[in-house]
Amino acid sequence: MKRTPKSRLAGLALAVVAALSLSACGDDAATDAAPSGPVDLSTVTLKVGDQKAISIEVLLKASGQLDNLPYKIEFSTFTAGPPLVEAASAGGIDLAQVGNTPVIFGAAANADIKIVGALSATGKGDAILVGKDSTVGSVADLKGKKVAVTKGSSANANLLLQLKKAGLSLTDVEPVYLAPADGYASLTRGDVDAWAVWDPYTAIAEKEVGAKTIATADQAANGYNFWVAGNKAVADPAKSAAIADFFQRYATATKWSSDNLDTWSTKYAELTQISVDASRTTWTRSIKEPITLSDEVIASEQEIADAFTDAKAIPGKVDFKSFVDTRFDK
């Protein structure tokens, strides 16, 4: 792979910051972050929250996008999206990638965050699973049943919207709020009747214990993921420059993974200690492609937020757009 010299990458990041400042008219946060001169990226440490399920660090390393960095990156691993949003709000991390629901719960809690980027995926890996011998064949069959799900995750939205589509609500089932690893154990022991989760956990359960999918998010929800950043990070000119450069590296890495699926699936399996079969299934259906924070994306998220409000699962009504910062779309 041809490497981009460090000096060119630093120059690219500075150019992006200049473009951001030009596009910031009318945006107070963007104006505050616009530098008055060159930014010294060598002084920046970008703190990025990661998940084993997403493995941002693994992807960037495998694709060569951690080479020749003009700034430092510190990765820290979390179990799911909700604690990542909390950490970004508290300033413990600067940036994280989460599903379509943690940002809504964060907004409902008036978290000190901005949604600074969007990604699309098929949603086929975000599923409701039952055991291989289960007699549950549809979402409607879940009435009165126990369903494991991580609260505030994309799986939470998928469960809510699938139930709504089937004429049911969260009150018609018994949600059991668990972290992904505990949800897997509960399903395999038979402690719950179903498990709402996302890839690679979906693929692992399918391949290892023969779990069956009764519904996937592409049938009821959107497949969006989001980059969330702490307000302090986006208000800092140097960190804004690093975030802009980081997004370009992530986009390049994502294309590399799509173009080199066999290599990427094998590497991901090695570094996350899952089977190559589960890894390939995950990245065949769950690669996340960067997209703009368009009106369509925002409207779709508002619909999910409103569904949680109607279900009284979050306090009050969320104005999703008010948490969106589109500067980095440039």
Task: Give the tens place of pLDDT for each residue, 286-313.
Answer: 889 999 999 999 999 999 999 999 999 9
CB-hemisphere CA count at 13 Å for 228?
34
Per-domain boundaries in the chain: 6-121+224-329, 127-219
What's 1's DSSP letter? Answer: -
Q: Which long-range contacts (CB under 8 A, 24 or more apart) does 304-309 make?
A: 304/100, 304/101, 304/104, 304/157, 304/161, 304/221, 304/222, 305/104, 305/107, 305/108, 307/157, 307/160, 307/161, 307/164, 308/101, 308/104, 308/105, 308/108, 308/157, 308/160
Tokens 């001169």 locate to: 37
Strands 45-51 and 72-78: parallel
pLDDT for the residue numbered 287: 86
Which of 294, 292, 299, 290 lies closest to 320, judged by CA?
299
Residue 246 to residue 173: CA distance in whole angstroms: 41
pLDDT at 26 over 60: no
154-180 per-position pLDDT tens digit = 999 999 999 999 999 999 999 999 999
| φ and ψ at residue 292, rounded to 5 degrees | -80, 155
Per-residue pLDDT tens over the stretch 103-157: 999 999 999 999 999 999 888 999 999 999 999 999 999 999 999 999 999 999 9
User: Residue 271: pLDDT above 90?
Assistant: no
Has residue 35 got a pLDDT over 90?
no
The answer to whether 249 touches 65, Cβ cutoff 8 Å, is yes
HSE (side-chain half, CA atoms, 13 Å) at 103 = 30
- pLDDT bin (cut points 50, 70, 90) of residue 85 is very high
Q: How many degrees, rounded to 5, is the angle at CA 116 between CA 113 and CA 117?
A: 140
**Residue 14 pLDDT:** 35
Q: What is the pLDDT of residue 104?
A: 96
CATH code given to domain 6-121+224-329: 3.40.190.10
Range 57-68 average pLDDT: 93
Q: How far from the centroid of its chain's Cα atoms is residue 274's Cα?
A: 20
Kindly report the pTM of this predicted structure.
Answer: 0.84
pLDDT at 37: 57
- Most distant CA atoms of the chain, gap in Å: 65
To the nearest whole number, what is the mean pLDDT of the chain?
88
CATH architecture assigned to 127-219: 3-Layer(aba) Sandwich (3.40)
Distance (Å, rounded) from C-alpha 168 to C-alpha 311? 11
Q: In angstroms, rounded to a whole number, what is the distance separating the alpha carbons of residues 248 and 114? A: 19
- For the ranges 13-17, 96-100, 105-109, the lowest mean pLDDT is seen at 13-17
Average pLDDT over residues 5-16: 35
Q: Report the share of the chain in percent with pLDDT over 70.
A: 89
In this chain, the answer to whether the domains covering 6-121+224-329 and 127-219 adopt an identical fold is yes
What pLDDT is stored for residue 2 in this prediction?
36
Model confidence band, residue 21 (pLDDT cutoffs 50, 70, 90): very low
Name the more confident of 201 and 31. 201
pLDDT value of position 4:
37
Radius of gyration from C-alpha coordinates of the chain: 20
* Exposure b/e, 99-123, CB count within 10 A at least 16 = b: bbbbbbbbbbbebebbbbbbbebbb
- The better pLDDT of the pair 280, 22 is held by 280
User: What's the pLDDT band for 55 if we cut at 50, 70, 90?
Assistant: confident
